[in-house]
Structure 1
Amino acid sequence: MASILDSVNQRTQMVGQNRLELLMFHLNGKQRFGINVFKVREVLPCPKLTAMPNRNPLVRGIAHIRGQAISIIDLSMATGGRALTDIQNRFVIIAEYNRTIQGFLVEGVDRIININWEDVMPPPKGTGRDAYLTAVTKVEDELIEIIDVERILADIMPANMDVSEEVANAPINVAKEDLTILITDDSSVARNQIKRALQSLGITLEVKKNGKEALDYLKDKAKEVGGLVHPHVPVLVSDVEMPVMDGYTLTAELKADPDLRDIHVILHTSLSGVFNQAMVKKVGADDFIAKFHPDELATAVQKWLNTEVIA
């Protein structure tokens, strides 16, 4: 089953083309779900699990895989469904999110699809299922649900969202009242985490849910100010995975626009594999930070704000 994943080098060719690959899988029932292949290390039959005392009920146990103890999360339970049964005949998706390795227990794994982010939409509201979805797409007239893994992990392992006093009090040598920091992320959990961390800087925050919304906002700002935007919006903190337009494509669009190219782009993403620096260089981003460490994020924003003064 691990052979379902091809080489990283082939996948990096999609960077800046607004495309993604989804590994599709089943939980309980016929509904198919998706997870970005970039986050998947391997897929394997469920190994023997060791129960741990006082564990979160969504964690079915600990597996020892390649010398590492990995928590195995029942993805069906985590999304409000019933627990998976007969787990010795199920599969585990080993994935890397937010600097940690997790295993997601699923009923079965289907195949990998290659699609355009323009065909990925925010989840429909009012369905009762949108709480744990970050996006949906259609494949062969079937709705594929893309799970908001960051929300699930926040429920199991809540992240610290507070910036340390030392970082919060670090000097920023700009007139804060004249600036806006733009935040772009499709996960409501991630948006709240970023806002909580950056509010300590005392600068106005503008929040968008995908790259298209962010690009439209910046182009409108260019018309409003009649030219260069970076004196007004000097920093963009952007997720990579977003419906409609991803963070790589957003960055490439900014760097190709004379009015927007000087905005400092920080890609802030749960993708934390070894290939990310090559991606950042390819699209021209200024910085890359793996989620989620509030001090690192706030420090990076401070650095680029102060660069404006030096420049």
Structure 2
Amino acid sequence: MAGVLDSVNQRTQLVGQNRLELLLFRLRGRQMYGINVFKVKEVLQCPKLSSIPNSRTVVQGVAHIRGETIPIIDLSMAIGLPGIPQETVPTSFVIITEYNRKTQGFLVTGVDRIMNMNWEDILPPPKGAGKDVYLTAVTKIEDKLVEIIDVEKILAEVSPLREDVTDAVLSKTSERVAGHLPVLVVDDSAVARRQIERCLTAIGMTVVIRNDGKQALEYLKKVTEDGSNACDHLALVISDVEMPEMDGYTLVSRCKDDPALRDLFIMLHTSLSGVFNRAMVQKVGADDFMAKFSPDELAERVMEIIDQA
């Protein structure tokens, strides 16, 4: 237990400093990719895989690891590259991750190292990259381009989530949100932005969207530059944690340090989960935390927040 607590304390030192730890890995070829260490449960040599009848071709099979049956996704194939050759699968590695309340493994050909970085050095993909590119961000390490993959986009294609608010929840929305101020949604994943916007508009909310913490803070500063309070313009903020240029933790810290913004209700809505994330949420002073993505839970929580305002 002491070891776990020490690890939590060590990692939470990064919170509010706009920093992250990036696990670097390779697929096919020399291109380097990255994933936030906070989403990684463990890395191991590819275990024996069992096939799944009628599964998608990107799913290599399932592995039985520490009492769990975990789907193993060929990450190379999932982003549109040639799949990892079958003869090299046994010598490949699996990155076990937790996203959106689910555990899955990503098959990669090699794992390099962990880098401690500043989110300011993590940049959005080039504007001409197009909507079909599986990237949320890019960075450079030792003058080499590192691509950070949009895992939420991959999982939305491999194992789609239900995105619609159920009729049972919609029946509770009558007149509860009518006339309320907009919600600011901050997320670097186009898939996540679409999911959240669809959920909120279904219950009658107006949505303002920004792609990262830096854009969001600029927007908040602009609407309050006349001396008004952010609460005069927005009902609440729903922000992702992992974002290029400025992460969600830093956005919360900056807002809580600003008299014009500190009263604004900020919910961190993230695919990160577990003890590390909850410790961080408390440290930066976020008003709420919710793991992605349950449209009913999100809709009901937003209605509760508005009722309490």
TM-score, length-scaled by structure 1: 0.93
Deviations 1:78-122 (A, max 9, x none): 111111121000000000000010000000000000110011101
Q: Which residue pairs with 2:284 in the alignment?
A: 283
Query: Is 1:173–1:306's contact at 8 Å kept on the other side of the alignment?
Result: no
Equivalences for 1:175-186 in 2 at 5 Å? 176-177=178-179, 179-186=181-188
Cα distance, 1:74 vs structure 2:
0.3
Query: Is 1:172–1:302's contact at 8 Å kept on the other side of the alignment?
Result: no
Q: Which residue pairs with 1:236 in the alignment?
A: 237
1:44 correspondence with 2:44: yes
Cα distance, 1:268 vs structure 2:
0.3
**Counterpart among 189, 192, 195 of residue 193 in structure 1:** 195
Equivalences for 1:260-279 in 2 at 5 Å? 260-279=261-280
- Give the 3 Å change call, closer, same or farther, for CA 122–222 of structure 1 in structure 2: same
Q: Which residue pairs with 1:253 in the alignment?
A: 254
Amino acid at match of 1:269: T
Deviations 1:24-80 (A, max 9, x none): 000000000000000001000000001110001100011000111100000000111
Q: Which residue pairs with 1:123 in the alignment?
A: 125
Equivalences for 1:58-73 in 2 at 5 Å? 58-73=58-73
Deviations 1:5-40 (A, max 9, x none): x93432121011100110000000000000000000
Cα distance, 1:236 vs structure 2:
0.2
- Give the 3 Å change call, closer, same or farther, for CA 217–298 of structure 1 in structure 2: same
Q: Which residue pairs with 1:3 in the alignment?
A: none
Identity among equivalent positions (%) equals 58
Q: Which residue pairs with 2:299 in the alignment?
A: 298
Amino acid at match of 1:206: V
**Higher deviation after alignment, 141-150 or 171-180:** 171-180
SS in 2 for 1:77: helix
Query: Is 2:8–2:279's contact at 8 Å kept on the other side of the alignment?
Result: no
Query: Is 2:176–2:303's contact at 8 Å kept on the other side of the alignment?
Result: no
- Give the 3 Å change call, closer, same or farther, for CA 152–175 of structure 1 in structure 2: closer
Query: Is 2:183–2:237's contact at 8 Å kept on the other side of the alignment?
Result: yes
* CA distance in 1: counterparts of 2:12 and 2:97, whole angstroms: 18
- Give the 3 Å change call, closer, same or farther, for CA 221–127 of structure 1 in structure 2: closer
Query: Is 1:177–1:204's contact at 8 Å kept on the other side of the alignment?
Result: no
Equivalences for 1:150-161 in 2 at 5 Å? 150-161=152-163
* CA distance in 1: counterparts of 2:231 and 2:212, whole angstroms: 20
Cα distance, 1:178 vs structure 2:
5.0
SS in 1 for 2:116: strand
SS in 1 for 2:57: coil
Query: Is 2:186–2:212's contact at 8 Å kept on the other side of the alignment?
Result: yes
* CA distance in 2: counterparts of 1:282 and 1:260, whole angstroms: 18
Amino acid at match of 1:158: P
Query: Is 1:124–1:130's contact at 8 Å kept on the other side of the alignment?
Result: no
Amino acid at match of 1:59: V
**Counterpart among 215, 218, 221 of residue 216 in structure 1:** 218
Cα distance, 1:195 vs structure 2:
0.6
Q: Which residue pairs with 1:134 in the alignment?
A: 136
SS in 1 for 2:55: coil
Amino acid at match of 2:89: I
Amino acid at match of 1:252: S
SS in 1 for 2:225: helix
**Aligned Cα RMSD in Å?**
1.6
Any gaps of 5 or more consecutive residues in structure 1?
1-5
Cα distance, 1:128 vs structure 2:
6.3
Q: Which residue pairs with 2:3 in the alignment?
A: none
Query: Is 1:28–1:84's contact at 8 Å kept on the other side of the alignment?
Result: yes
- Give the 3 Å change call, closer, same or farther, for CA 127–257 of structure 1 in structure 2: closer
Query: Is 2:235–2:265's contact at 8 Å kept on the other side of the alignment?
Result: yes
* CA distance in 1: counterparts of 2:299 and 2:39, whole angstroms: 25
TM-score, length-scaled by structure 2: 0.94
Query: Is 2:24–2:115's contact at 8 Å kept on the other side of the alignment?
Result: yes
- Give the 3 Å change call, closer, same or farther, for CA 154–175 of structure 1 in structure 2: closer
Query: Is 2:177–2:205's contact at 8 Å kept on the other side of the alignment?
Result: no
- Give the 3 Å change call, closer, same or farther, for CA 169–255 of structure 1 in structure 2: farther
